[in-house]
Each structure stands twice: as C-alpha cells, then as structure tokens.
Structure 1
Amino acid sequence: MIWEVEEWGVRRWCLAGLAFCVLMMAVALGLEHLAGMEPCPLCVFQRMAVIAAGAVFLVGALHAPRDRAGAAVYGLLGLIAVAVGIALAGRHLWLQSLPADQVPSCGPGLDYMMEVLPLQQVLATVLTGSGECAEVGATLLGLSLPGWTLIGFVVLLLAPLGLLSRVWRRDHGYRWQGLPGRD
C-alpha cells in the first residue's frame, strides 16, 4: 500500500485533502444546522482554516503541476493552513481545560465585533478567548468538539505532508522498496 501512495501525484494528494476538508465542513455545518449547535468564535476561525486548506487543495487539484516547485508550493500553503487550524483547535482545548474561575468572561458576539472593531482587534479578542469558547457543549467518546477537530486537522496534515514528501523523495532520490517480490 505504501508503494501505491508513494506514486500519488499532486492532483491525487490535493483531491484527498479537499475531500477531507469537505467532510470536516459537512460535519460542522450538520452540527450547526441539524443539531442546533451554534459555533463559538474559535469554532468559526477553525472553519476558516478548513476552508483555507480546502481552497489550497482545490487550486492544487485544478492546477496539478508536474514539477517539484508546484508540489512544494501547494504543500507549504496547505501545511500553513492546517497548522493554523491545529493551533486554533489546541487553543480551544486549552480554554476548555481551564478551571471555572480562570475562564475569561463572555464577550460580544463575533458578528458584532466584526462590525465595530478593526480586524486585528477581533483576532486578538477571539484568540484570547471568551466564556462561550470554554464551554464544553457536547462530547463523543470522551472528546469535545475541539478535540475531534484537532484530530481532523492532524489527519488532514497527511495531505500537505504527502505533497512535501513527494518533493523530498524526488530531491533525494528516495524510493520505498516495499515488500520482497514487489517492483
């Protein structure tokens, strides 16, 4: 199986990453619209990271460059978007782990902040956290939604790493040998 994944081109890695981004957004929107769970500001920012990664993978799949530079560009851009998502989900988990007396107070809603505050101040306020981001709304198998989102981002990390490993293998002449008897 590793020798088959090793042969994946830029388009296939990007399509796999895009498909996982679509899955993550489908779950998020399903929880919002079907289960009635309103996203907190950090959840919205995590969705933006998923959308950014999905946009990188969509453009990469449409472009499908055959050179190392193209694979490296899409791999690095995808890696940045996914790393931001991992950082946001980690921050969200940290806020949820705080004792009740250390949880920041609830602030205004994200829509209101976007209307009246400059973007830099909105980002600072959201990343500082608010009481609504520290609430654990639901759990599945003992993990809160930001925990599952973090796992999703770690799985999504495979796509940009696959693109970058493709570049590395070509630069260093590495090829997986596989099992005996397999060419």
Structure 2
Amino acid sequence: MILDWFTTAPRRILALMCLACIGLLAFGLYLQHVVGLEPCPMCIVQRYALVLVAVFTGLACARGSKGWITSWSVLALLASGFGAFTAARQSWLQWYPPEFAMCGRDFYGMIENYSISRAIPMIFRGSGDCAAVDWTFLGGSIANWSFVCFVGFALLLLVLLARSRRYVAD
C-alpha cells in the first residue's frame, strides 16, 4: 500500500522530502544561532548537500512529466550520496579522532585562500572542530543523524526511481 504512493503520487513524496530538508536546515540554523553551536567545515558541506537535495526535489515536484521527475530525482540522489559520504567521514573522525586535534581554518577561509583542488582535501581531512561532539540525541551526534537522514533520502529516491516505470500523474 505504501509503495503504491511512489507510483501514484511521486510529486507529493518529492514535496515532502523538500519540506523535510527545509526543516532540517531550519533546525541546523536553530542550533547555530540559538544554541550557539558553530558549524565545522564538514557541517557546512553537509548543509550545502541538504540545500541541493531540497532544490532538486523541489524542482522535481514542480512538473508532472516523467522525464522531469526522473532527471531531478537522479540529481537529488547524487546530492544525497555526497551528503551521506561527508556525514560518514565526519562520524568516522568523531569515533577515531586524530592524535593531534588542531583547529584548522574555517570553511570560507579555506575556499578564499586556496585553490579548490587544495581546499577540498583540507575540508575532508577534518580538524579538531570536525571531531568534536557538541550535541547528541539518543546517543548520536549531528553527523550520525545527518548520515541517517541522507541515507533515508537516498533510499526514498531509489524506490521512487525504481517504481517510476509505472508512473501515473497525480
């Protein structure tokens, strides 16, 4: 019954995913501006991935044609995969922190002062900021929960794309 929604109402599912991304972004801004947690470079990259998932799913649900939905859903799936990779890398850094935890440059300092080919490895190398666990919920850090959300979005998009052969406009 639930799998029928992926065939009969894909635009609604994509719209709900877009709203979920916006809600997660709002929660991240709440943690930053109200609670006072400063995002590390990997957190910022995850936010950009979440913005891309929101934009791509929003565009996918804008029109009812199968090609339009499929194209934007594939891009959203790629952005979800990238976000999951970044969150997994940060979770790994939190579980196995570097021996010498030093605070590196902030995200924008890396982008402004180095070429993109040097800045990207610096971001994924992590720093003491990326290995710190400042907030937890049910035993999981922000990076852990971010990974769960990105994987959930990717699974939903995979089911949507797999069932798109039986697409019916809603």
TM-score, normalised relative to structure 2: 0.88
- Residue by residue over 1:55-112, the C-alpha shift from the partner in whole angstroms, topping out at 9 and shown as x without a partner, is 10111122x2322x323212211110000011000000000011452x5532112222
Moved over 4 A (4+): none
Which residue in 2 is equivalent to 1:111? Answer: 108
SS of aligned partner of 1:106: coil
Q: Is the 8 A contact 1:53 1:78 kept in 2?
A: yes
Which residue in 1 is equivalent to 2:148? Answer: 151
Count of residue correspondences: 167
Residue 137 in structure 1 maps to residue 134 in structure 2: yes
Q: Is the 8 A contact 2:7 2:164 kept in 1?
A: no
- Residue by residue over 1:93-152, the C-alpha shift from the partner in whole angstroms, topping out at 9 and shown as x without a partner, is 000011452x55321122221221112211110011111101111211111111111112
Which residue in 2 is equivalent to 1:121? Answer: 118
> What is the percent sequence identity of the aligned residues?
31
d(CA) in 2 for partners of 1:3 and 1:143?
Answer: 29
Deviates more, 1:42-51 or 1:113-122: 113-122
**Which of 90, 93, 108 is matched with 1:92 structurally?**
90
Distance 1:99 1:15, change over 3 A: closer
d(CA) in 1 for partners of 2:102 and 2:123?
Answer: 12
Gap runs ≥5 in structure 1: 171-183
TM-score, normalised relative to structure 1: 0.82
Residue 73 in structure 1 maps to residue 71 in structure 2: yes
d(CA) in 1 for partners of 2:157 and 2:135?
Answer: 30
Superposed displacement of residue 166, structure 1: 2.7
d(CA) in 1 for partners of 2:140 and 2:3?
Answer: 34
Which residue in 2 is equivalent to 1:176? Answer: none
Superposed CA RMSD in Å reads 1.9
Gap runs ≥5 in structure 2: none
